[in-house]
Structure 1
Amino acid sequence: MRTFILLPLLAACTSLPVDTSSADRALAEATAGRIAGAPQRCIDRSSAGGPQIVGDHTLLFTQSGRRLWINTLPASCPSLRRDSTLIVQAFGSQMCQNDQFQPRQPGDVVPGANCRLGTFTPYDRPKR
C-alpha cells in the first residue's frame, strides 16, 4: 500500500463547505460541451491532475486537457472542503473505486474521517 497526497485545484479559497447549488453549477460548467463515457473503476494517478473538490461527494480530475474524470463518492464525505488536501491510500499506480482517503484542512494536524472513492466517469471534448 502506498499513501500519496493530492493537492486540490483551488476554485475559491474558503474552508466553508460547498453548498449544493454551487456544486451543481460548477459541475455543469466543467462538463459543458463534453460527452460522458462509460464509468471506470480505476484511473492512472500519474496522469490525473487535481482534484478539484466540487462538493461533499464529487471530485473532478483533469487529464491532458481533453478529458475530465468525475468521481462520485459512494457516500458524502462531511469533512471534505474546497481547500482540503486529500491523503489517499492507494495500491499500485492507479486510483481505484473504494480506495480510501482522508481530507486534511490547511493548518490541521489530524486529518478528517476516512472516505472512499467511487467510480470515475470520463468526460471528453468531441473530436473536431
Structure 2
Amino acid sequence: MRTAWMMGVLALAGCASSSEMRATRQAEASAALAKELDGRIAGKPVNCIGNSASTRPMIIDENTILYREGGRVYRNTLAAACPRLTPYNTMITEVQGGQLCRNDRFRVLEPGTTIPGPYCRLGQFTPFQRQ
C-alpha cells in the first residue's frame, strides 16, 4: 500500500515539474518575442519572403519563427504547432523555388539525433518594421 502511495506522489511531482518547465519555456518565448519585436509595427501579412543566407530562422516556440531580412523582421505563425520546435534545434526546410512561402514544409532535427521529426508547415509572414 505504501509503495502505491509513493508512486502517486512521484507521479504528481513529475506533473508539477513538467508544467513548471512548460510555463518557464513559455515565459522565455514571450520575452524573446517581445525583445525582437520591440519598437516595431506590424505590416500586412504576405505569403512569401526571400530565401537568402541572411534569412535564417530564429525559433521562438512551437508556433512561432522569426526571420530577418534587411531591416525587417518577419513573424511566421505556423499553420499548426510543430512538435519539438524549440530554440537550439535545427530546421530542415523544403524550399520550392527561390522563396520561403506559406505551406512550405520543414522538419526539426534535435541535437544528437539523426532522424528528423514529423513535417510541419509554415504560415503567413507578418512583417515588422521600425517606425
Q: TM-score range by the shorter chain?
A: 0.7 to 0.9
1:75-114 paired onto structure 2 within 5 Å:
75-114=80-119
| Counterpart Cα distance in 2 of 1:47 and 1:85 | 15
Rounded to whole Å, the distance in 2 between the matches of 1:21 and 1:108 is 27
Matches within 5 A, 1:4-83: 19-46=25-52, 48-64=54-70, 66-83=71-88
- Structure having the higher strand fraction is 1
1:124 to 114, 118, 129: 129
Rounded Cα–Cα distance in structure 2 between residues aligned with 1:43 and 1:115: 18
Per-residue displacement from partner, 1:22-50 (whole Å, max 9, x unpaired)?
21121111111011100000001116522
TM-score norm. by structure 1 comes to 0.80
Q: Deviation digits for residues 27-80 of structure 1, max 9, x if unmatched?
A: 11111101110000000111652211100110011112x110100001111111
Question: What percentage of residue pairs aligned between the two structures are identical?
Answer: 41
**Superposed CA RMSD:** 1.7
| Greater RCO, 1 or 2 (C-alpha within 8 Å, sep 6+) | 1
Give the Cα separation in 2 of the matches to 1:32 and 1:59: 16
Contact 1:79 1:113 in 2 (8 A): no
Count of aligned pairs: 110
- Which SS does the other structure have where 2:118 is aligned? coil
Amino acid at match of 2:27: S
Please give the alpha-carbon distance, in whole angstroms, between the structure 1 residues aligned to 2:54 and 2:66: 10
Q: Which runs of 5+ in 2 are unaligned?
A: 1-20
